[in-house]
Amino acid sequence: MKVEEHRERTVDIAGWPVRLTSYRIGEMFYCTADNISPGATIARTSGATREEVESAAIERATDRLAQTKRHAV
């Protein structure tokens, strides 16, 4: 099986830049949300449609990033 319908986009979630990467393998879509620098994975989801998996990844990332404390520099 190979990756099809690959798409990357950058969104702002809770004040953080987040890269959403979604793709299809077979009949399933997968999505990964990571913070752009250093690229740590925040959420991974899978489901039947791209909209479903991206929405779920954004929801999970929002929950996790909203709890992250920022330190003044």
3-state secondary structure of 40: coil
In the CATH hierarchy, which top-level class contains the domain 3-66?
alpha beta
Q: How far apart are CA 31 and CA 37, in angstroms?
A: 18
Q: In what order do the strands lie in the sheet with 41-47?
A: 3-13, 16-25, 28-35, 41-47
Per-residue pLDDT tens digits for 14-64: 888 999 999 999 999 999 999 887 878 999 999 999 999 999 999 999 999
| pLDDT for res 11 | 95
Maximum distance among all alpha carbons in the chain?
47
pTM: 0.85
Q: What is the pLDDT of residue 69?
A: 73
How is the chain split into domains, by residue range? 3-66
